[in-house]
Amino acid sequence: MNQYIRPIAAALCFGVFMLMATMSSAQQKSAKLEEIAQYLNLTPEQKAKILPILADEAPKVKAIKEDHSFSRMQKMQRIKAIHQQTDPQMKAILSPEQYQKLQAMRHKTLADAIH
């Protein structure tokens, strides 16, 4: 009986660890999006429109940053392409000041990707 308890306990511990790691990642993503919303000083209406766009962009940009098969220039071009796809939506929702802040934030993302 004891021989079965240890593997089951180990599996349960691993499952709990993985669940916590996933929740932590989701919480981190949510916190990051909230930080961006505050940085851009979004109204509740803007937030409802912008955050889903950013949430969709984030994993794509992250995947590009982490892909070591791309050169720095390729990373920059691919991230710019993602930003260009959503840029018209963002520009329509944000004020000119907020849009400038977004552009500055995106330039930093590009700089981070190539370093």
End-to-end CA distance of the chain: 55
Is the CB of residue 75 less than 8 Å from the CB of residue 32?
A: no
- Residue 112: which pLDDT band, with cuts at 50, 70 and 90? confident
Q: Hey, where are the domains in the chain?
A: 35-114
Give the number of C-alpha atoms closer than 13 A to the C-alpha of residue 48, restricted to the C-beta side.
3
Percentage of the chain beyond pLDDT 90 is: 48
Token readout for 39 is: 């940085």
Q: How far is CA 39 from CA 13, 29, 71, in A?
A: 38, 15, 30
Of 99 and 18, the one with more pLDDT: 99
Distance in angstroms (rounded) separating the CA atoms of residues 43 and 20: 32
pTM surpassing 0.85?
no
Q: Which of 10-14, 42-46, 68-72 is predicted with the least confidence, judged by mean pLDDT?
A: 10-14
- In this predicted structure, what is the pLDDT of residue 33? 79
pLDDT digits (tens, 9 = 90+) for 45-68: 999 999 999 899 989 988 998 999
